[in-house]
Structure 1
Amino acid sequence: MECTISTMGCNASAHYSKHKYNETAIKATVLIQRWYRCKRAQLEVRRRYSLTIFQSIEYADEQEQTQLSNFFTFMLEHCVHRGEVARTSTGSDVSPGTDSYVIKYEKIDVPDSYRGPRLSFPLDISHAKTLLNALKDRQLLHARYVLQLLCETRRVLKEKPNITHVSVSYFKEITICGDLHGNLDDLLLVFHKNGLPSENNPYVFNGDFVDRGKNSMEILIILFVFLLIYPNDFHLNRGNHEDYILNMKYGFAKEVLKKYKDHGKTILHHLQDIFSWLPLATIVNNKVLIVHGGISDTTDLDSLNLLERNKLKTLMKTRKLETDKKNQEEHSELTEKERKQVLDILWSDPNKQHGCTPNQRRGGGCYFGPDTTDQLLKRYNLKMLIRSHEFKPDGYDLTHNGKVITIFSASNYYEAGSNRGAYIRMNPDLVPHFIQYQVCACTDKKKNWERVKTIEQSALQNLQERIFVHKRKLMDTFAKCDCKNTGRISISDWAAVMESVLQLKLPWRMLRSRLVKTDPDGKVDYMSCFCYMDTARPMHQVQPTLVETLCKYRRDLQMIFNVLDEDRSGLISPNEFRKMWKIFSSYLGIHSHDEAVDKLAQSIDFNKDGNIDFSEFLEAFHVVHQLENKAA
């Protein structure tokens, strides 16, 4: 009996210990899960607000398009010799409306030393494959072949209607790609995953092929080659960045001029004309409308199909140059109503609210609601609208009850790891199948928290730069809230000032800990929001407002320089810098002392010939800080 009891006691003790161990393990597991989910949630919050910062700054930059276009006209009037204005504005000495430029490429010799890809026309798929491999290895196609390709592309595009109609079958599904923005690796990855274009594998590329990325020219070359090989099965829509004024600001013009120093202006001239010949929309099986941006409550597909699209070289409104009056009389532009039709489909964004309102955030197009979508789809007996134009973290997004699809094909758009790209496969059922991807050469070795940290740091750096270039206005507005001049204001006042001046619609309270210092009593040291950035190079004696202005308008200064740099050297002398600054400051109405400009010029590290690489000089101001703090 004792033995039995003793044995029972041992069994009960073992069972109790095992129960306690299981309970402890479960509690530990639950605790680990909670910690892991909390950390994942925190990382996701940081990632989302970082992407919001990027997008808000991008849209605020686009909002300045009116100032940009007026400045471009001013630049041409004052920076270029009067007799060369019209020629420089198009980048060539021939008119795109004539065929005189067609023989231009024939005069260019390809030296025997050239080891890049060679093209012979008419092109076939073997040329395309050779070209893809060469461009993948970062070889440069010779200007002679580029110009011939552009001439042939223009000829094909001129035959296409404003709205292209395509059909698909179960043996011929169509692939729809969104913005690429110069990211060649994304295009190559799409072709690798989805197959090269062919008669049985048609594609639609929905605009914004260029700007921001480093390989816009290579993307255009590939797209134009496949367009020539498969003109009935390879389709291109125009995006809002297929516009020569935007190209001057967002990098494409600079890229072309750098890669093709001798023939860059001629290439840009032809591309300006080709962009104007790109179709405006594509309709699949008479049911799916594909446009780059969106629609408005006045969108009329019948009117769009009839307008002379090639007359719209740019959607940016510019003042007419005196030297352009004669050309204007010979080639009348589109009416304002026709221009708005194109503006709406290239610049608009969908909105959750009903109605159609001006797109103040971008500065062009409109916000269109689900009711606007329903009206247009019903009017033309369509099933859905596919558009691009807008960054999406997952590469795609569905709105308006699935009737509006956004497709964005540039992965790592803002920063490595910031987003996936995607494209659509569609069969006759017209049910979209989304394929996501991400070029991971720079991110596959990083952990998730490391990728988020990189994105966050880059976003905050961009935001801090934006804060810096508005420093004077911010300080004046802060001072109005700080009546006793304590240097401290409430969190509410700080957030209100940041939004009123920067107008970025950001969660300022959430960002407070990343941007400013806060006292124990909850007051914000508002001057500390200018203290988080390092100066690229010391310039203690340069007028601070001058540096702020240079930082704010560095892209516009780059536009001036691209026109002035006739020898394509990329170099600028101190005297040329002073002259350019005076022209620029006269446009903005900036009153800076000559001594301040001289000190700024003297602070630049010129080479032994007394010149400086202007692009490197501007990059030096990409991350800046108030000079007083640096001196201290």
Structure 2
Amino acid sequence: MGCGSSIKIKKTAKTIKAALIIQNWYRGYSARLRTREHYALTVFQTIEYADEQGQLQLSDFFSFMLENYACIKEKDPSIVNRLFGCALPEEKTKLDFIGMIEIPDSYTGPRLKFPLTVASLHILIEAFKKQQILHASYVLEVLFETKEALMQMPNFTRVRTYPTKEITVCGDLHGKLDDLLLIFSKNGLPSSSNPYVFNGDFVDRGKNSIEILMILFVSFLLYGDDLCLNRGNHEDFLMNMRYGFTREVLSKYKIHGEKILQFLEEVFAWLPIGTIIDEEILIVHGGISESTDLTLLNNIERNKLKSVLMPPVPIDKGYAADLKKQKGRPSPRGIRMTGSTSHYLTKYEWEQVTDILWSDPREKRGCYPNTCRGGGCYFGPDVTSKFLKKNHLKLLIRSHECKREGYEFSHEAKVITVFSASNYYEEGSNRGAYIKVGFHSTLQFFQYQVTKATCLRPLHQRVYTVESSAMKILKERMIARKTDLINIFQLQDHNKTGKISMSQWAFSMETVLRLNLPWRCLSPRLVITDQEGNVDYMSCFNDVHIQKPVKEVQSALIETLYRYRSDLQVIFNVIDSDHSGLISMEEFHAMWKLFSSHYNVHIDDSQVDELAKRMDLNKDGSIDFNEFFKAFYVVHKFDNSNKENTNTV
């Protein structure tokens, strides 16, 4: 008996020891996966913010362009009106605005009756689940009614909870209709007993931005006192040109898309810029700065700010006077004029709005420029405490940043970030969340993740998918600066071995790309190293290259055009006011000269002219600009197969 017991004890001890070894191994394995996932999300977010920084810098170019390209003013003054926020002539009636748009009998999409009812909301939701498109006539009528209602709203909407009435706060949706429908499924549709605050960034990136807007606007028209819509930094026509919403509308509404976009500019400008719950909780899209003044923000004419990306800079006053005479239009933003002419925001007022739409919290004390995004500021815990105390508030709820769990506390839980678009960067990259605010500021947090599968994939599969996608966009960033990277690598490679140290490689990557990434940790997925840890720097480009549209064109030019492709597309979309997609050779040449001068791009004009001529396939003197950029491809070679994955620029 005793001997048998001893054997059992020994076996049990071995089993426990083995279990502990396996458990420790799994914990380490999971921790390494989580670390890789964290690095991948850091790559996504860093590149996203770098792109937004480029978008803000692009606005400076528009000012430069209008100052130096005088013929634009003569040829198409509407461009000046649009970029500098000049008001469009007011429509007298709904009929004047919408016009006579017939709905054919063949139309099988949802039909709305005005005034809207609760049934209208249900009809829309069910139709959008079936991927039906709402007719342009209904879209325009909803926009008209929404603008009329928004014009009666203050800059900050004030709402109250009650012992039996909670308010649901949602963050960024970014065109992800499935997330909105999941929120409604879990939390119920908006109603007088189920109020919501949607905290901006309804559009861009996702493919169903117009559907989200229609659902939110119809809900607002039904329950205006119980559904608050705050403006985000993406409710901005210049952002929409770059991040997809403009393309979405023009694709879905080929005939009336331009009119829809034109009026959406007005609607976005009329959106309130914040919500205050129970006089205790402030909800704004981005954040605050050390100079944020709620009294000033309460009194600005928010509708004068069509694009937050365009700072108020005075343009030629003679031209401003001419604009004033044309159909009674007021002068461009930034120029104050006497009499009955509308008041345009000052630079200080513009900065105040920019701060609350673009800023991010950080743990470092003080307030300093938001260098990652290029707009707004970083604000520390001391700034938050001072602001809340000054304005007799308890809490700041904001959105604007993707968080892995859908929400995050900062500044000793005085600032809460809520983000409602799950799978924002890639499937499995993050959860979405919403907050329920109860009586006396009691908060409940709800998380979710949209997935087509019946259950989530294993962690290692999710991490691999997210990481692969992150490395893909990072390599596209690298290939766009291939010539610059090779030059700096070769400067470090004194012995011409094709290899440099890891520290030299990391230094070179950061010097050229300026992304502030953990390059050493990312190196296993980007380069090949030898046993001594030296980097084969040309291996950076082993599995990715830009497909040249013309073999004779120099690589440096291709890389430059690829690098600035988004900026160039936005610029030409503004110039191409009729959206024909055609740009004359003269316009192309003039715009490129201005662009290269302002952006300090050193490419010989003759090379650009030669490329443009080669892209004028039918020799009609015009460039099909959409086809021009479709000619550029980034080709990725998968690690585990011989197949190639080609991305169109």
Offset at residue 505 of structure 1 (A):
1.5
| Aligned position for 2:198 | 205
CA distance in 1, matches of 2:631, 2:436: 40
CA distance in 2, matches of 1:622, 1:239: 32
CA distance in 2, matches of 1:75, 1:141: 37
Change (3 A) 1:591 1:582: farther
Offset at residue 469 of structure 1 (A):
1.5
Offset at residue 497 of structure 1 (A):
1.9
Corresponding residue to 1:153 among 146, 149, 165:
146
Corresponding residue to 2:232 among 239, 245, 249:
239
Change (3 A) 1:618 1:392: farther
| Aligned position for 1:196 | 189
Instruction: Check if 1:428 corresponds to 2:420.
Output: no
Larger CA deviation: 26-35 vs 437-446: 437-446
| Aligned position for 2:560 | 549
Give the letter for the 1:187 counterpart: L
Give the letter for the 2:357 counterpart: L
Instruction: Check if 1:62 corresponds to 2:52.
Output: yes
Corresponding residue to 1:41 among 21, 31, 34:
31
Offset at residue 489 of structure 1 (A):
2.1
Q: Secondary structure at the match of 1:48?
A: helix
Using the size of structure 1 for normalisation, the TM-score is 0.89
| Aligned position for 1:256 | 249
Change (3 A) 1:15 1:531: same
| Aligned position for 2:170 | 177
- Where does 1:53-92 land on structure 2 (aligned, <5 Å)? 53-72=43-62, 82-86=74-78, 90=82
**Would the aligned equivalents of 2:593 and 2:605 in 1 still touch at CA under 8 Å?**
no
**Would the aligned equivalents of 1:253 and 1:268 in 2 still touch at CA under 8 Å?**
yes
**Deviations 1:521-579 (Å, cap 9, x if unpaired)?**
2222222222231555786443211221222122123224534666657x66xx86896
Offset at residue 132 of structure 1 (A):
0.7
CA distance in 2, matches of 1:147, 1:582: 36
- Where does 1:57-136 land on structure 2 (aligned, <5 Å)? 57-72=47-62, 82-86=74-78, 90=82, 96-100=88-92, 102-103=94-95, 104-136=97-129
Offset at residue 260 of structure 1 (A):
1.1
Q: Secondary structure at the match of 2:440?
A: coil
Offset at residue 79 of structure 1 (A):
9.8
**Would the aligned equivalents of 1:478 and 1:497 in 2 still touch at CA under 8 Å?**
yes
Instruction: Check if 1:530 corresponds to 2:541.
Output: yes
- Where does 1:157-556 land on structure 2 (aligned, <5 Å)? 157-317=150-310, 326=323, 327-328=330-331, 330-441=341-452, 444=455, 446-535=457-546, 540-556=551-567
Offset at residue 613 of structure 1 (A):
9.1
**Would the aligned equivalents of 1:262 and 1:568 in 2 still touch at CA under 8 Å?**
no
Offset at residue 222 of structure 1 (A):
0.8
Change (3 A) 1:78 1:216: farther
CA distance in 1, matches of 2:228, 2:498: 59
Offset at residue 593 of structure 1 (A):
6.0
Change (3 A) 1:320 1:302: closer
Offset at residue 584 of structure 1 (A):
3.2
**Deviations 1:99-148 (Å, cap 9, x if unpaired)?**
24732314111111111111121111100000111112111111111111
Larger CA deviation: 472-481 vs 365-374: 472-481
Give the letter for the 2:370 counterpart: N
**Would the aligned equivalents of 2:616 and 2:623 in 1 still touch at CA under 8 Å?**
no
CA distance in 2, matches of 1:484, 1:368: 47
**Would the aligned equivalents of 1:294 and 1:349 in 2 still touch at CA under 8 Å?**
yes
CA distance in 2, matches of 1:17, 1:578: 92
Give the letter for the 2:240 counterpart: N
Q: Secondary structure at the match of 1:465?
A: helix
CA distance in 2, matches of 1:210, 1:293: 16
Give the letter for the 1:213 counterpart: G
Larger CA deviation: 523-532 vs 151-160: 523-532
Instruction: Check if 1:621 corresponds to 2:621.
Output: no
CA distance in 1, matches of 2:607, 2:18: 69
Change (3 A) 1:46 1:601: farther
Q: Secondary structure at the match of 1:43?
A: helix
Offset at residue 290 of structure 1 (A):
0.6
CA distance in 1, matches of 2:555, 2:626: 20
Q: Secondary structure at the match of 2:215?
A: helix
**Would the aligned equivalents of 1:75 and 1:560 in 2 still touch at CA under 8 Å?**
no
CA distance in 1, matches of 2:624, 2:635: 19
Offset at residue 70 of structure 1 (A):
3.0
| Aligned position for 2:603 | 591
Offset at residue 504 of structure 1 (A):
1.4
Any stretches of 5+ residues in structure 1 without a counterpart?
A: 1-10
Offset at residue 387 of structure 1 (A):
0.5
Q: Secondary structure at the match of 1:20?
A: helix
Offset at residue 81 of structure 1 (A):
8.1
| Aligned position for 2:647 | none
CA distance in 1, matches of 2:611, 2:370: 42
The alignment's C-alpha RMSD in Å is 3.0
Larger CA deviation: 192-201 vs 575-584: 575-584
**Would the aligned equivalents of 2:509 and 2:519 in 1 still touch at CA under 8 Å?**
yes
CA distance in 2, matches of 1:467, 1:442: 34
Q: Secondary structure at the match of 1:423?
A: strand
Any stretches of 5+ residues in structure 2 without a counterpart?
A: 324-329, 332-336, 638-643, 645-649
Change (3 A) 1:81 1:254: farther
Change (3 A) 1:411 1:491: same
CA distance in 2, matches of 1:457, 1:539: 30
- Greater C-alpha Rg: 1
Offset at residue 614 of structure 1 (A):
2.6
CA distance in 2, matches of 1:20, 1:529: 53
CA distance in 2, matches of 1:291, 1:147: 27
Count of residues in correspondence between the two structures: 609
Percent of aligned positions that are identical: 48
Change (3 A) 1:267 1:165: same
Using the size of structure 2 for normalisation, the TM-score is 0.87
